[in-house]
Structure 1
């Protein structure tokens, strides 16, 4: 990457970092420049930022979005569905009309913002598995002393 590419400075303090991560992640914007798009489809991350050229090979949110979606959203929704069943004992069609769509929408809708948040957090905090920098530079053809975050 050349130095004439437009980039925004990554914030230095914890609160500024948090705001930057939330802004970029939840809006699906590049965590380096804040302008390019992070996603090319609903959950598929672009290869490189179309604005600043950030290479997203570092991005590895894995099962994190599904985990957070299930723990933060699905568990409370399950509690509501169980309460509905215990309190009112509705027929099964009521659950099919209300509970099932609520569970599907409630767990699938936040996947993209959560994935964006995890990727932005990984970039801003330079998160990488310990001891893997040499292997990553060998696999990706980068200099031995440079990480994927130093593009």
Structure 2
């Protein structure tokens, strides 16, 4: 199968966020929740060079913190909730957000590494069409 390469970084990152191969966009990226496959089953992209490590967790923490902060402020100002009620609302919500963001964040990190040719990945791009020459256009 000839892979349909993404036209831009954002398209490759979106494929990773969807937990799909950043190269072809069709194959699965993960064999377990956070364990990437060794190769894409469809385009045979070698995924072993990926080194996402802890970065997806940092992304999930930062996004969760920025989304939770306004909620915490609103709950404490507009609703007079006690500490137990605040914890009962916020802790499950924060944990759910963190867990829900980990796999898409890891997919985006792997797609970023692939797109920029980091850690042993090879940069692959759609071949740009060559600019027409004067011979092609018939100009003198």
TM norm structure 1? 0.70
Q: C-alpha displacement at 1:50, in angstroms?
A: 1.1
**2:60 maps to 1:69:** yes
Shift of residue 82, structure 1, vs aligned partner = 4.5
**Cα deviation, residue 46, structure 1:** 0.8
Aligned runs of 1:43-82 on 2, under 5 Å? 43-82=34-73
Corresponding residue pairs, total: 123
Q: Which has the larger Rg?
A: 2
The answer to whether the aligner puts 1:19 opposite 2:15 as a matched pair is no
Give unmatched runs, 5+ long, in structure 1: 129-146
Q: 1:95-132 CA distances to partner (integer Å, 9 max, x unpaired)?
A: 2331111111122211111111110111011123xxxx
- TM-align CA RMSD: 2.1
Q: Structure 2: where are the runs of 5+ without partners?
A: 124-140
Q: 1:7 aligns with which of 3, 26, 31?
A: 3
Instruction: Give the superposition deviation at 1:52.
Output: 1.7
CA distance in 1, matches of 2:73, 2:5: 48
Q: Secondary structure of the equivalent of 1:57?
A: coil
Q: Could you say which residue in structure 1 is the equivalent of 2:91?
A: 100
- CA apart distance, 1:66: 1.0
2:122 aligns to what? 149
2:106 is aligned to 115
Deviation at 1:55, TM superposition (A): 1.4
CA deviation string 1:58-115 (max 9, x = no partner): 1111111111111122243144224423554412331233111111112221111111
